[in-house]
Chains A and B, each alone.
Chain A
C-alpha cells in the first residue's frame, strides 16, 4: 500500500505519495514540493515544519527523506549524481529529466557516505 504524506495547514491540504516526492526546497517563509513528474507546489510552511510533518508520518524504517542544510529535503531514492567539487546533486526517477540542485561540499560529502553506506 502506498504511503502518503499529508501536509495540512489552515488553508490547504496537500496529499502526496511519499515515493512521488523528489525534493522539497525552502522558499523564504514557504516551501516548494517538487514531485517526481516535475510538478511543483508551494506550501505555506517553513522547511523545518515540513520536516517535522514527514518525521511524524513516515513509517518506521523509511529513511528515504534526508534534510540537507537549511534549505533542502531530498528523497534519496532519486539521487542519480553527486559532484562534490561542483557542489552538484541530481535527482531523477530515470523517466523524467533530472533535477539538479546545489548544496555545500561538506553536506554532499556526507550524503555520498550515507548513500554508499
Chain B
C-alpha cells in the first residue's frame, strides 16, 4: 500500500464517505487573486534576501509554513519519542508541537548515520534523509566560524561559541564547553566537529546575547535521542532555548537558522524544505551541513 496525498490540508473527508464539499466558494476568484499576490510577494522577498543568509542570528525573514495539522502538547513530555522503536526502518519522524504558543517542528531521525558535509549538497541523493546547515559562515570572508573538523581534517580553529557537536566512531555528542577533547578525538579518528551557540545545557536554557528574533533551528537531545527542532516563527534565542527545555531537551545547540537551506524527506521520499520554497543554498565555499543518512 502506498500513501496517496489525495487530500489537501484544507479538506476533510468522512472515512467511508466522500470529500466534504466546502460551502462559500462564491468568491473563489478573490481568494485566487489574493493567493497569487501573496505568493508573488513571498517569492520576491525570498529572492531579495536569499544571498544575505549567513548566520543563525542575522537572518530574520519568516515565511509562513503550510497549515499542517499539528499536535498541541502544552508543556508536555514528547510522547512520540517513547514509542519509537529502533527496529523501525530508516526514516524521519516528524512531530509538531506548541510550547508557550510557539509552533515547533521536531524531526527525529531513526536508524540513520549523522555526518557533516561541506559544499553544495545534492537533494537527489536519496540516502540523505535530513540535511540542514550546521556551522555559521562569516559574512566577510566566507570562512567557518569556530573550530571545525571535517573527516579528521581541522579546517577552522578557535572558540567563538561554546556549544559543540562531535561525530566520530559512529557516535554523535553535543554539549557546551570552552574546551573539548572531542575536537582532538574527532581529528584523530577521522570524525567531525563544529561549534555553535549553546541552547540548553544539563536541561537548563543557556542565555545568549543576540536578542533579535528569527526562525530558529537546534540540534537537541530529547529522551536520549537526537532531534532537530525548528521554529518557522521569529523567536529570540533565549525564548527558543526556554521552549527547548520545556520540550525536555537535556542538551541542545543552535544550527544555522533564519532562511538557511535545509530539508528532510517525507514519507513518500519527497523533499520538504525547512523554509518552503528555499531550495537554493547560498554560494559559499564553506557552506556546510549536518546530514543524516539512511543506515
Contacts and interface: CB of A to CB of B under 8 A. Distances in A.
Interface of A: 11, 25-30, 32, 40-42, 44-49, 51-52, 54-55, 58, 60, 62-63, 65-73, 87-88, 100-107, 109-111, 113-114
Contact of A49 (B3, B79, B88, B98): B3
Given A48-B6, A69-B11, 11 more contacts: A27-B93, A28-B267, A29-B93, A40-B82, A44-B88, A58-B16, A66-B12, A69-B68, A101-B71, A102-B98, A103-B67
A28 B268 CA distance: 9
A8 B11 CA distance: 28
A40 B1 contact: no
A40 B3 contact: no
Contact of A114 (B20, B68, B84): B20
B99 to A, nearest CB: 13
Q: Which DSSP category, helix, strand, loop or mixed, fits chain B's interface?
A: loop
A69 B79 contact: no
Q: Which DSSP category, helix, strand, loop or mixed, fits chain A's interface?
A: mixed
Contacts of A29: 89, 91-93, 267
B267 A101 contact: no
A27 B70 CA distance: 10
Nearest to B31: A106
B22 interface: yes
B23 interface: yes
A60 B14 CA distance: 12
20 contacts: A27-B94, A28-B94, A29-B92, A40-B80, A46-B267, A48-B3, A49-B1, A51-B15, A66-B12, A69-B7, A69-B10, A69-B12, A70-B68, A71-B69, A73-B15, A101-B70, A101-B71, A102-B98, A110-B20, A110-B22
Interface of B: 1-17, 20, 22-24, 67-72, 74, 79-80, 82-85, 87-89, 91-95, 98, 266-267
Contacts of B93: 27-30
Contact of B9 (A42, A44, A69, A113): A69
B90 to A, nearest CB: 9
B60 to A, nearest CB: 24
Given A48-B5, A101-B69, A102-B98, A32 B12 contact: no
Nearest to A46: B3
A111 B266 contact: no
A27 B83 CA distance: 11
Nearest to A76: B14
Contacts of B13: 66-67
